[in-house]
């Protein structure tokens, strides 16, 4: 369908009309004293009617005067007067009809159309005019309503488009923020005047800034200007000459800079932001800004400098001593008849030169090891995470290793190292030990530093003979499967400044049987472990003496006569909203760990959050770290306790200040449909049995006295692990007190409970 053709005048008229409407839409000012064209008809029409009416009235008056002045009273004049008055009345009546029915209605319609144009047309009532009000102007009113509907639709489309565009922009902004936040490099976006338009947190960390940097500030306030400006000039020249199209790095260039205070050396990469020229133009694009990525190269450049110095030391530094030694040897060789005194002098000089070379070689070797270690990427690692990765790799990724089993034991520790290479190292060692001894079950445990030792030991334990030193050295020379660049096991140890050795494990009596052995690898401790950051120290729980809970009957004969070191234990702990279960406080977390055969099976744990169906007091959150948001949607206590009861089935329960935790459990037995009626040992009571009533019997106090490193304290699982380590030490001490069986331990605890009850009675 084609549009109708328009002639020249029509086009010109519409163009003028469009410009007039455009001017009004834009609110352009009018010259003073000139009315809008739309307002003139409303004033000219009544003026015309009034002038015609006045003219007719004047004519009628003139005719009346003429009739009165005539002597005979001309009937024709009288008729003219009457007709003139009638016409004047008709004109006035017509004016009233036109004014009331057309002009006023048209003015009202124009005002309502203006309201619709400037108001909200979303609703059917607010965006439409009532047709019944306008009589003969109904077609115009209907046209206004049609325009209103279309205007409303256009506005809705615009609003929807704006909302969609805003949502997409917010999504892109969120993605960009996430990308910038997770980048390990500092990112800054600047214009050509070096004003900062965007930056991420890593940039602040690299430049060691906090609140100094801000949008709009100059980058050159924080970074030495010359490398940045020079790099921008290089890129500008490359783009102007068009070389960026075929250049290897395109619009990117690297540079080395520094902070303005000279403390930090920076490795930077600048990428130009281009604005293409207009279509058809032959001009090259212009650079409107640049993206700068920065990394802290201080340690890397220092390491390169140290390596250069070591290379000079290993070449030029050894040249003169070796030349002197060679000259002395040649002198002795060429003069076999040299006098004894002279020969002794030459031999002494040769010995001194050899000693000097040996010492210099040791220094170079140690310095090289420090350089290699310092430049290798490392981070703080939680030992449980590291060992679980080893378990996963041995159990799934290693061909023919389906029969190998790695058990995580002991307390978790924080170490500093390269997680990937350590996983490869221990996978390699486990496979070699399996091939040598046939062992298929291994324990892997992190042992805390003791007696001033700074190393954390990672012990691989198995049933079988130890690995001979020569065999172990051969394993360390072998390249690791999947190791980068032919990395060997010995290289991994060297990067960690570590070594490895194997030995048979003594039993409790000090003998050295061939039944169990270990391979020990020392690792450096963590530099700043996350969980070691101080949390508000919780006040110790009050000693909870519920004598009905603490006084237990002796166990059944078979279980009661079982030695303590042969029992299966579950050590547990709870976190609660408060310290008063009888007044409404609830459990918010339960955790437990198995202890079997004197080993803490760190890989066999129970740990779950519980929805208490009540707010967690804000004052308790800093101590256990559990918030309302963390427990929202978690299972309630009636669903958790049956699972926990199944986990402890057949085991002796152990807890510190056990009556406190048991009180919470007992109060929920009926609602959960379970019963906790097995034997329970309390490390607080055992501490009183061993150390007397005096002293600190809190968990922290006992652990400190026993030399047990506390990691992840004041969490349910962390406290369970610490309690398990404390309990195993106590089993050894109880054996020395002739407390050997479960009945012996329960009997001693009952005596303490009775004494406490009598003391409180007095």
Active site residue 551: no
Residues 375 and 303: beta-carbon distance below 8 Å: yes
Q: Under CATH, which number does the domain 183-277+284-296 receive?
A: 3.30.450.20
At residue 739 the predicted structure's pLDDT band, cuts being 50, 70 and 90, is very high
**Of the candidate ranges 301-310, 354-363, 456-465, 672-681, the one whose mean pLDDT is the lowest:** 301-310
pLDDT at 586 over 80: yes
**Of the candidate ranges 16-30, 480-494, 607-621, 639-653, the one whose mean pLDDT is the lowest:** 16-30
User: What pLDDT shows up at residue 95?
Assistant: 67
Cross-strand bridge partners of residue 599: 596
pLDDT at 538 over 50: no
Q: What is the rounded CA–CA span in Å between residue 728 and residue 715?
A: 20
- In the chain, the percentage of residues whose pLDDT exceeds 70 is 73
Q: Give me the torsion for CA of 645, 649, 654, 655, rounded to 10°.
A: -10
At residue 15 the predicted structure's pLDDT band, cuts being 50, 70 and 90, is very low
Out of 104-118, 127-141, 342-356, 520-534, the most confident range is 342-356
User: What pLDDT shows up at residue 439?
Assistant: 92
Q: What is the rounded CA–CA span in Å between residue 578 and residue 590?
A: 14
Alpha carbon distances (Å) from 629 to 113, 356, 475, 531, 624: 53, 67, 50, 21, 14
Identify which has the larger pLDDT, 727 or 352: 727
Q: What is the rounded CA–CA span in Å between residue 255 and residue 238?
A: 16
pLDDT at 652 over 70: yes
For 498-510, the pLDDT digits (tens) are 899 999 987 655 4
Write the class of the CATH domain 546-761: alpha beta
User: What pLDDT shows up at residue 314?
Assistant: 72
The angle, 0 to 180 degrees and rounded to 10, between the axes of the packed helices 469-477 and 419-437 is 130
> Mind giving me the DSSP string for 14-44?
HHHHHHHHHHHHTT----TT---GGGHHHHH
pLDDT at 135 over 80: no
Identify which has the larger pLDDT, 290 or 82: 290
Residues 626 and 609: beta-carbon distance below 8 Å: yes
pLDDT at 47 over 70: no
At residue 426 the predicted structure's pLDDT band, cuts being 50, 70 and 90, is very high
**Of the candidate ranges 185-189, 630-634, 720-724, the one whose mean pLDDT is the lowest:** 185-189
- Helix/strand number for the chain, H first, E second: 24, 17
**Of the candidate ranges 23-27, 55-59, 198-202, 484-488, the one whose mean pLDDT is the lowest:** 23-27
pLDDT at 33 over 60: no
Region 38-50: mean pLDDT is 57
User: What pLDDT shows up at residue 303?
Assistant: 63
Q: What is the rounded CA–CA span in Å between residue 514 and residue 733?
A: 26
pLDDT at 2 over 60: no
pLDDT at 121 over 70: no
User: What pLDDT shows up at residue 428?
Assistant: 93
Identify which has the larger pLDDT, 264 or 630: 630
DSSP run (H or E) holding 715: none
**Of the candidate ranges 23-37, 600-614, 692-706, the one whose mean pLDDT is the lowest:** 23-37
Best CATH choice for the domain 382-531 from the list 1.10.10.10, 3.40.50.620, 3.40.309.10, 3.30.565.10:
3.30.565.10
For 452-500, the pLDDT digits (tens) are 778 999 999 999 999 999 999 999 999 888 766 677 898 889 888 889 9
pLDDT at 97 over 80: no
pLDDT at 593 over 60: yes
At residue 723 the predicted structure's pLDDT band, cuts being 50, 70 and 90, is very high
User: What pLDDT shows up at residue 99?
Assistant: 67
At residue 646 the predicted structure's pLDDT band, cuts being 50, 70 and 90, is very high
User: What pLDDT shows up at residue 574?
Assistant: 94
Q: Where are the beta strands (DSSP E) in 558-598?
A: 568-576, 587-596
Q: What is the rounded CA–CA span in Å between residue 503 and residue 670?
A: 53
User: What pLDDT shows up at residue 115?
Assistant: 74
At residue 720 the predicted structure's pLDDT band, cuts being 50, 70 and 90, is very high
Query: β-pairing, 252-258 with 265-275?
Result: antiparallel
Determine whether 419 is exposed, middle or buried from the number of CB atoms within 10 Å of its CB (0-12, 13-18, 19+): middle
Identify which has the larger pLDDT, 263 or 698: 698
User: What pLDDT shows up at residue 69?
Assistant: 58
**Of the candidate ranges 157-166, 212-221, 434-443, the one whose mean pLDDT is the lowest:** 212-221
User: What pLDDT shows up at residue 444?
Assistant: 94
For 313-354, the pLDDT digits (tens) are 777 777 777 887 888 888 888 888 888 888 888 888 888 888
Region 30-51: mean pLDDT is 54
Query: β-pairing, 379-382 with 405-409?
Result: unpaired
The residue from 244, 382, 496, 714 that is catalytic is 714
User: What pLDDT shows up at residue 7?
Assistant: 40
At residue 241 the predicted structure's pLDDT band, cuts being 50, 70 and 90, is confident
Q: What is the rounded CA–CA span in Å between residue 480 and residue 478?
A: 6
Region 278-292: mean pLDDT is 83
Q: What is the rounded CA–CA span in Å between residue 471 and residue 561?
A: 45
Identify which has the larger pLDDT, 755 or 470: 470
Out of 219-228, 303-312, 527-536, 687-696, the most confident range is 219-228
User: What pLDDT shows up at residue 89?
Assistant: 72
Max CA-CA distance within the chain? 187
**Of the candidate ranges 301-310, 497-506, 543-552, the one whose mean pLDDT is the lowest:** 543-552
Q: Where are the beta strands (DSSP E) in 505-628?
A: 516-523, 568-576, 587-596, 599-609
Identify which has the larger pLDDT, 701 or 756: 701
Q: What is the rounded CA–CA span in Å between residue 244 and residue 223?
A: 26
Q: Per the structure block, which two tokens stand in for 530?
A: 């996350």
User: What pLDDT shows up at residue 731?
Assistant: 93
Region 290-319: mean pLDDT is 73
For 385-422, the pLDDT digits (tens) are 889 889 888 866 555 555 889 999 988 888 988 888 89
At residue 12 the predicted structure's pLDDT band, cuts being 50, 70 and 90, is very low
Helix intervals (H) in 496-592? 547-550, 557-560
Q: What is the rounded CA–CA span in Å between residue 562 and residue 555?
A: 10
What is the number of other CB atoms lying within 10 angstroms of the CB of residue 356? 14
pLDDT at 535 over 70: no
At residue 280 the predicted structure's pLDDT band, cuts being 50, 70 and 90, is low
Mean residue pLDDT of the chain comes to: 79
Give the DSSP letter of residue 741: B
């Amino acid at each position: 369908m084609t549009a109708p053709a328009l002639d020249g005048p029509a086009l010109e008229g519409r163009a003028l009309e469009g410009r007039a409407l455009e001017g009004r839409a834009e609110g352009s000012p009018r010259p003073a004293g000139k009315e809008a064209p739309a307002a003139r008809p409303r004033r000219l029409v009544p003026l015309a009617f009034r002038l015609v009416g006045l003219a007719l009235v004047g004519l009628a008056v003139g005719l009346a005067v003429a009739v009165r002045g005539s002597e005979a009273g001309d009937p024709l004049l009288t008729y003219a007067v009457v007709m003139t008055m009638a016409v004047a009345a008709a004109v006035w009546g017509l004016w009233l009809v036109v004014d009331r029915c057309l002009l006023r209605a048209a003015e009202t319609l124009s005002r309502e159309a203006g309201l619709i144009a400037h108001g909200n047309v979303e609703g059917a009532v607010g965006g439409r005019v009532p047709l019944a009000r306008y009589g003969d102007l109904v077609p115009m009113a209907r046209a206004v309503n049609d325009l209103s509907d279309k205007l409303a639709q256009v506005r809705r489309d615009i609003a929807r488009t704006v909302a969609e565009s805003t949502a997409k922009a917010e999504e892109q902004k969120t993605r960009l923020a996430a990308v910038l936040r997770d980048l390990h490099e500092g990112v800054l976006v600047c214009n050509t005047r070096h004003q900062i338009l965007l930056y991420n947190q890593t940039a602040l960390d690299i430049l060691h800034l906090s609140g100094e940097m801000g949008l709009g500030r100059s980058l050159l306030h924080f970074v030495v200007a010359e490398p940045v400006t020079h790099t921008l000039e290089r890129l500008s020249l490359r783009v102007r000459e068009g070389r960026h199209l075929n250049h290897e790095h395109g619009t990117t260039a690297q540079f080395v800079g520094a902070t303005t205070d000279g403390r930090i050396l920076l490795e930077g990469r600048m990428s130009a932001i281009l604005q293409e020229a207009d279509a058809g133009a032959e001009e090259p694009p212009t650079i409107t800004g640049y993206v700068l990525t920065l990394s802290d190269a201080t340690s890397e450049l220092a390491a390169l400098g140290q390596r250069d110095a070591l290379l000079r030391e290993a070449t030029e530094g050894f040249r003169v001593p070796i030349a002197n030694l060679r000259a002395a040897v040649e002198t002795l060789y060429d003069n076999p008849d040299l006098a004894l005194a002279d020969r002794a002098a030459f031999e002494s000089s040769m010995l001194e030169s050899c000693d000097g070379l040996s010492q210099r070689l040791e220094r170079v070797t140690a310095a090289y090891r420090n350089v290699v270690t310092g430049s290798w990427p490392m981070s703080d690692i939680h030992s449980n995470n590291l060992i679980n990765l080893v378990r996963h790799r041995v159990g799934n990724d290693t061909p023919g290793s389906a029969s190998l089993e790695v058990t995580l034991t002991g307390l978790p520790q924080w170490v500093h190292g390269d997680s990937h290479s350590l996983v490869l190292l221990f996978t390699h060692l486990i496979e070699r030990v399996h091939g040598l001894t046939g062992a298929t079950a291994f324990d892997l445990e992190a042992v805390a530093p003791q007696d001033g030792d700074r190393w954390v030991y990672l012990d691989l334990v198995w049933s079988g003979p130890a690995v001979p030193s020569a065999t172990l050295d051969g394993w360390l020379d072998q390249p690791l499967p999947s190791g980068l660049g032919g990395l060997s096991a010995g290289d991994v140890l060297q990067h960690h400044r570590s070594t490895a050795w194997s030995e048979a494990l003594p039993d409790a009596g000090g003998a050295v049987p061939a039944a169990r052995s270990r391979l020990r690898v020392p690792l450096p401790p963590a530099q700043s472990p996350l969980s070691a950051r101080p949390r508000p120290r919780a006040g110790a729980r009050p000693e909870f003496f519920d004598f009905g809970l603490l006084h237990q009957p002796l166990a059944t004969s078979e279980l009661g006569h079982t030695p303590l070191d042969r029992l299966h234990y579950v050590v547990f702990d709870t976190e609660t909203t408060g310290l008063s279960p009888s007044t409404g406080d609830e459990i918010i977390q339960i955790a437990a760990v198995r202890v079997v055969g004197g080993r803490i099976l760190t890989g066999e744990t129970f740990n779950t959050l519980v929805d208490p169906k009540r707010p967690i007091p804000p004052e308790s959150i800093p101590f256990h770290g559990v918030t309302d948001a963390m427990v929202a949607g978690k299972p309630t206590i009636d669903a958790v306790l049956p699972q926990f009861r199944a986990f402890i089935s057949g085991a002796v329960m152990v807890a510190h200040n056990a009556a406190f935790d048991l009180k919470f459990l007992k109060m929920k037995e009926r609602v959960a449909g379970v019963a906790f009626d097995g034997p329970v040992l309390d490390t607080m009571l055992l501490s009183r049995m061993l150390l007397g009533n005096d002293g600190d019997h809190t968990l922290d106090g006992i652990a400190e006295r026993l030399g047990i490193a506390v990691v992840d304290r004041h969490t349910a699982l962390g406290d369970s692990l610490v309690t398990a380590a404390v309990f195993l030490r106590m089993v050894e001490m109880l054996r020395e007190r002739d407390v050997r069986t479960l009945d012996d331990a329960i009997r001693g605890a009952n005596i303490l409970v009775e004494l406490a009850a009598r003391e409180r009675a007095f």
